[in-house]
Amino acid sequence: MRSYNTSALSLSLRRPPSASRHFMPSRPSSSLETFPNPAPGRDYLVHIEVPEFTCLCPLTGQPDFATLVFDYIPDKRNVELKSLKLYAWSYRDQGVFHEAVTNRILDDLVKALAPRFMRLTARWYVRGGLFTTVVAEHRKKGWKPAPHIELGRVTVEGGPTRG
């Protein structure tokens, strides 16, 4: 049997004295952080996919899984992605109907960002033989999109890493 010196490894994995016994680098959070829009004079699309959203069925307590797709045109603020991830994580133990959670998330993002336009598409995985998709939108009062120009489409294939 081979012997290994693990003292160097264990030193590199030690937590700082101030860390709790159950150290986690991140925790769920119901707050959303933002940063200034770097190009407020231009309409541009921000597309974000969250493929691992989880909440609980309010009737059975069973987990429900969804892919959340955010498409928005920022005005003065953009959402910081790590805060969005931790925000989505905060729903993991909440019992909530698909329609309610989709609209609540949209409302929270609109409150934090005040975007020109935002669409949230929640594609729920099969439950009891049924797929559910909930689409909710917000449009800033007075905002009109620029006329659409068709330039062709880029097809993105692959899984979560798009590889």
Strand, helix or coil at 16?
A: coil
Q: Identify the active-site residue in 43, 55, 64, 107.
A: 64
Are the C-beta atoms of residues 66 and 98 closer than 8 Å to each other?
yes
The Cα 18–Cα 13 span in angstroms is 14
Query: DSSP letters along 17-85, please?
Result: TTS-TT--S----S---EEE-S-TTS---EEEEEEEEEEE-TTT--EEEEEEEEEEE-SSEEE-HHHHH
Q: Is 55 a residue of the active site?
A: no
The Cα 21–Cα 31 span in angstroms is 25
Q: Is 64 a residue of the active site?
A: yes
The Cα 75–Cα 58 span in angstroms is 35
Find the Cα–Cα–Cα–Cα dihedral 30, 160, 47, 40, rounded to 10°. Answer: 80
Q: Identify the active-site residue in 43, 57, 71, 75.
A: 57
**Residues with a known catalytic role:** 57, 64
